[in-house]
Amino acid sequence: MRKKLLVLGAGNAQFDIIEMCKEKGFEVHGISYMDTDKGISLLDRFEKINIIDVDSVEDYVKENGIEYLYSIGSDLAMPTVMEVAARCGLTHFVSSETALICSNKHLLRERLGKDFRWNIPHVVCENAEDAKDFSFFPAMVKPVDSQGQRGVFKANDYNDVLANFETAKTHSKSGRVIVEKFISGDEVSVNAYFYNGEMIFFLLSDREVFSNLSGGIIKAHHLPSRYEDTGIENEIRDLVIESAKCLEIHEGPAYFQIIVDKEIPYLIELSPRLDGCHMWRLIHSYCGVNLLEMAITHITGEMIPVPSPIFSANRMHLEFFCVRPGIPFSQSAFAEYINNYRRFYYSDGDEVRKINGYMEKCGYRIFSSPEKIGLIGGSGFIGRKFIEMYGDSYELKDLSRKGGLPEYSAEAIEDGLRGCDSVVILAAKKVNSKEKQSYMLYEDNVRVVENTLIACNKLGIKNVVYLSTRCVYSNNTQSPIHEYSEIAPVNYYGISKYVGDMVCRYYNENYNMNIKILRLSQVLGLGDDNGYMFADFLQKAQAKETLPVWGNGIGRRDYIYVKDVCRGIESVLLGYERSGIYNLASGVGVSNPELARAVCGAFGNKGNYELLTDKPEDKTVAYFDTELIKRDFGFVCSFTIDSMMQDMAKEV
């Protein structure tokens, strides 16, 4: 005879547990206050009961001989699950009190207490006036007992609290609102599992939200976390253990939302359940541990073996298909998106329901990235070096005319990129001083960027790197040059690249892409016959001729080795969820005599250069601040001006 399990709720969050329990041979019952939930068709039996009606749920359990009950992804369901299980003598992981505290932001903050160092300053209000003395702005305004991002607003001051308070209050069952200090930083999640009072599983992941929307609306999850194997991960582990101890979570799964601000983690939410984002499936794909199966096994009283994860070498992602509410859903809009697993919440033509009111989850996909990388203009100087360095690590596809691309049209690029998960835009017409300069010469630089992004958007390729240039910055800017320094392109090429920057920013903001714009300093390396001073130095040094250095060496430039450029590109590709503008440079100013000395020293022509002080020199000092790319991706150059010359000499 089949064992009977009751699932509270039958919506998209419950699909996974219903399916798995059916596969395991359970007779699966379900209840919900709605009889239109998508999971109802999968159930052996359904009855329309509100999941927060404890007495009615208890009656159903007793009348139908239910042996187990559970729910995932629902804070509303957990107090009922634990209370009914306790009344009926069934297995449950935590007390109903713990479940209730975790579903109420006020109760959670109060239970954790002022001595909990990862807590957030807050005030609980029945009326907006209760927050008039709150001084921690900006702040988040939230209903105390609503799940997800319903009724959540950002307030820059008390006037914003007044403007949004009543709307937030409408989403609160108790009619109360919590105003808490806004924590700005990287969002992360923890999925943990407790068994016999011990935490037997802990996994940190990066949580990506819509940066242009308030309330922390989820966009994607990423593994592994950028904080893996760091001191911050150790601090977060302590946070998890201490908060679980405080709330008496000794058994079962627990899910934590955390924001890391200035290397300090702050607890945002905590639930004694599996999350509602299908993270168990991403985790299973990434390391082989099946948290949903563990929970089902645990609740039936069977022994759980301690997990032995085997981690994937690739970054893996769970990304939601998000659409604005009130419009018909179309699965075909996401048909070309690569995936290892995909599920839609809506059928074609279904109207997208309003839940958070901004961008609604309509399905999701799980995939790896970067794995297959399209290189737009991969036959050029940097592209060739990238293929040489990383051809054995990734599947690289050169989309250039030499690589067989017939033209740089959106259609041709789309055909070429099909199956790719990441893209690097390298193609660009460079400056040729022999040509009469005009913007028309460089219009194709912008066209290639736009056509590539049109193709990427259609194919769902969000992980894009665009190589921009130092030439967008003003020559009059004081060094070090920051990403926010004055924009005043020094030539038509710089103008075209800056327009490309703006096209990328537009796609980031309007199409939810993750484009990383890299503004390169001057790139040095073998095989770049660009006619610049370095190429002349290199030729003369190899011929053991004297290198002519104009001027007194007042000017300084920032040089980056092509191998460091390629390393930088890989680093930012691994930061799938990041977007924005970054300087990719050495961060060091090098004078012409210093460059000549390094070239001569490496190529057996030591000291054979001459200062021509009667010749005019470029006295510009231009080197770049590189802290942003270091902060977000951990990237720093490996080569100094001397070591890059020595490395080139070995390859000649």
Q: Count Cβ atoms below 10 Å from residue 396 Cβ, excluding itself.
A: 19
- Tokens encoding 42: 């999968």
- Tokens encoding 542: 């190899």
What confidence score (pLDDT) does residue 173 get?
85
- What would the pLDDT profile of 386-428 be if each residue is shown by its tens digit? 999 999 999 999 999 999 999 999 999 999 999 999 999 999 9
**Beta bridge pairs of residue 364:** 320, 343
Degrees (nearest 5) of the Cα angle 235, 239, 240? Answer: 120
Q: Does residue 370 have a cis peptide bond before it, meaning omega lies within 30 degrees of 0?
A: yes
**Beta bridge pairs of residue 46:** 30
Q: Does residue 272 have a cis peptide bond before it, meaning omega lies within 30 degrees of 0?
A: no
Helix (H) or strand (E) holding 241: helix 231-246
* Domains with residue ranges and CATH for the chain: 4-92 (3.40.50.20), 121-181 (3.30.1490.20), 195-368 (3.30.470.20), 452-651 (3.40.50.720)
What confidence score (pLDDT) does residue 114 get?
86
Supply the pTM of this predicted model: 0.90
Angstrom distance (rounded) from CA 509 to CA 375: 23
Nearest in space to 513 (alpha carbons), one of 444, 395, 425, 443: 425
Angstrom distance (rounded) from CA 6 to CA 477: 67
Question: What single-letter DSSP state applies at residue 76?
Answer: T
Q: Which amino acid is at 575?
A: G
Q: Count Cβ atoms below 10 Å from residue 212 Cβ, excluding itself.
A: 12
Calculate the alpha carbon distances from 584 to 257, 381, 384, 390 in Å: 32, 16, 18, 19
Nearest in space to 77 (alpha carbons), one of 131, 13, 151, 26: 13
Pairing assessment for the beta strands 395-399 and 372-376 based on DSSP bridges: parallel
User: Helix, strand, or coil here: 315?
Assistant: coil
User: Helix, strand, or coil here: 197?
Assistant: coil
Mean pLDDT of successive 10-residue segments in the chain (652 residues)?
95 95 97 92 96 97 97 94 97 96 91 92 91 91 80 91 92 90 93 97 96 83 97 98 97 97 94 96 98 97 94 97 95 96 95 90 97 97 97 97 94 97 95 85 96 98 98 93 96 96 96 97 87 88 95 95 98 97 98 97 95 92 97 97 97 88
235 Cβ partners below 8 Å, 6+ apart?
264, 265
Angstrom distance (rounded) from CA 484 to CA 580: 11
What burial class does residue 375 get, using C-beta atoms within 10 Å of its C-beta: 0-12 exposed, 13-18 middle, 19+ buried? buried
Angstrom distance (rounded) from CA 623 to CA 447: 29
Angstrom distance (rounded) from CA 504 to CA 462: 11
User: Helix, strand, or coil here: 284?
Assistant: helix
- Tokens encoding 273: 């359940």
Q: Mean pLDDT, the chain, as a whole number?
A: 94
- Tokens encoding 297: 């096994």
What burial class does residue 216 get, using C-beta atoms within 10 Å of its C-beta: 0-12 exposed, 13-18 middle, 19+ buried? buried
Cα 52 from chain centre: 35
- What would the pLDDT profile of 139-169 be if each residue is shown by its tens digit? 999 998 876 677 888 999 999 999 999 999 9
Nearest in space to 420 (alpha carbons), one of 448, 388, 396, 384: 396
613 Cβ partners below 8 Å, 6+ apart?
551, 552
What confidence score (pLDDT) does residue 46 get?
97
Angstrom distance (rounded) from CA 362 to CA 394: 31
What burial class does residue 279 get, using C-beta atoms within 10 Å of its C-beta: 0-12 exposed, 13-18 middle, 19+ buried? buried
Helix (H) or strand (E) holding 297: helix 291-299
Angstrom distance (rounded) from CA 43 to CA 9: 11
What confidence score (pLDDT) does residue 213 get?
79
**Would you say the C-alpha torsion 346, 348, 351, 357 has a positive or negative sign?**
positive
Contact of 306 with 294, CB cutoff 8 Å: no
User: Helix, strand, or coil here: 331?
Assistant: helix
Task: Give the DSSP per-residue string, 448-476.
Answer: HHHHHHHHHHHHT--EEEEEEEGGGB-TT
Nearest in space to 503 (alpha carbons), one of 454, 459, 543, 549: 454
Angstrom distance (rounded) from CA 16 to CA 35: 18
- Tokens encoding 226: 């950028």
What confidence score (pLDDT) does residue 151 get?
85
Q: Count Cβ atoms below 10 Å from residue 532 Cβ, excluding itself.
A: 13
Degrees (nearest 5) of the Cα angle 454, 460, 463? Answer: 90
- Tokens encoding 9: 């709720």
First to last CA, the chain: 77
What confidence score (pLDDT) does residue 582 get?
98
Q: Count Cβ atoms below 10 Å from residue 52 Cβ, excluding itself.
A: 14
- What would the pLDDT profile of 609-642 be if each residue is shown by its tens digit? 999 999 999 899 999 999 999 999 999 999 999 9
194 Cβ partners below 8 Å, 6+ apart?
93, 200, 244, 249, 250, 251, 252, 253, 254
Angstrom distance (rounded) from CA 503 to CA 466: 11
